[in-house]
Amino acid sequence: MNSADTIKAKTNPRLGEGESSLNLPNSITLLRILLIPVFVWLYLEPTPERALWAGLVFAAAAFTDFLDGYLARRSGQITNLGKLLDPVADKLLVASGLILLVQVQQVAVWLAIVMIARELIVTGARAVAAKEGFIVPADSLGKFKVVGQIGGILCLILQGAWPEWQNTLSLLGIILLYMALVLSLVSGWRYLILIFKKISPQYW
Q: Is residue 3 part of a domain?
A: no
Confidence of residue 110 (pLDDT cuts 50, 70, 90): very high
Higher pLDDT, 153 or 144: 153
- How many domains does the chain fold into? 1
Which residues form the domain of 15?
Answer: 8-203
Torsion of CA 27, 28, 32, 37, to 10 degrees: 50
Q: Is residue 14 part of a domain?
A: yes
What's the pTM value of the predicted model, to 2 decimals?
0.80
- What value does the mean pLDDT take over residues 1-23? 46
pLDDT value at position 15? Answer: 40
Confidence of residue 5 (pLDDT cuts 50, 70, 90): very low
Q: The domain that contains 91 carries what CATH number? A: 1.20.120.1760
Which residues are CB-neighbours of 137 under 8 A, at least 6 positions away?
5, 7, 83
pLDDT value at position 9? Answer: 39
pLDDT value at position 81? Answer: 66
Q: Is the pLDDT of residue 199 over 50?
A: yes
Q: Is the pLDDT of residue 11 over 50?
A: no
Nearest to 155 by CA among 64, 51, 75: 51
- What value does the mean pLDDT take over residues 19-48? 83
Confidence of residue 3 (pLDDT cuts 50, 70, 90): very low
Nearest to 182 by CA among 111, 123, 121, 129: 111
Confidence of residue 202 (pLDDT cuts 50, 70, 90): low
Q: Is the pLDDT of residue 183 over 90?
A: yes
Torsion of CA 127, 129, 133, 137, to 10 degrees: -80
Q: Is residue 1 part of a domain?
A: no
Average per-residue pLDDT for the chain: 81
Q: Is the pLDDT of residue 85 over 90?
A: no
Q: Of 7-11, 106-110, 200-204, which one has max mean pLDDT? A: 106-110
Label residue 101 exposed, middle or buried (CB < 10 Å: 0-12, 13-18, 19+). buried
